[in-house]
Structure 1
């Protein structure tokens, strides 16, 4: 059974909504792109962080372990995505939902 966090991020992908949350005790503003499980079986999401706080420069791709995400809310707003797709993602091993494959190709 997927966690509540997983279901909220999944809904955000399907409806192309932004996610506002806390991760590593930092506020984050994200657009999730791929959700599923990592090699260890943990629920994870690959998201483009466009605002909030970060240990590095923003915007950037983030791999979040959903068990560590807190205070999740969805909001309407401009959909953000990284301009660079030069390397294959390694965050999500078992993909459940990918906005570019499962959502946008349906339209």
Structure 2
């Protein structure tokens, strides 16, 4: 059975909603694009447009692939949904897709 965080992220993908959360001790502002499983573990592919990161965040934002188990305090946020110009590139973050943004 999917975790509550997985379900929140799945809903955000299907409705193109922003999600803020904590990951590895850093606050992230994201737009989830896909959620599913990689090697049986819950994964999410997000476009991070603001917040913090251990490696820094480019001004234009960056794609991030994360295990859902490490996402904490996820909340849907108001505001326009965002993506990057290379959004159509094939993703390798998720083997079994549960939800993916429909363009």
Q: Tell whether the structures are fold-level matches, with TM greater than 0.5.
A: yes
The alpha carbon displacement at 1:9 in A equals 0.2
Contact 2:14 2:100 in 1 (8 A): no
The alpha carbon displacement at 1:14 in A equals 1.7
- Note if 1:28 corresponds to 2:28: yes
1:1-107 equivalence runs, <5 A = 1-38=1-38, 40-54=39-53, 55-58=55-58, 59-85=61-87, 87-100=89-102, 104=103
Q: Deviations over 1:21-66 (max 9, x none)?
A: 000100000000011001x211001110000001133300000100
* Structure 2 portions without partners, runs of 5+: none
* Structure 1 portions without partners, runs of 5+: none
Matched residue pairs, number? Answer: 100
Higher helix share: 1
When the two structures are superposed, what TM-score results if normalisation uses the length of structure 2?
0.90
The DSSP-based 3-state class of the residue aligned with 2:5 is: helix
When the two structures are superposed, what TM-score results if normalisation uses the length of structure 1?
0.87
Contact 2:16 2:31 in 1 (8 A): yes
Contact 2:50 2:57 in 1 (8 A): no
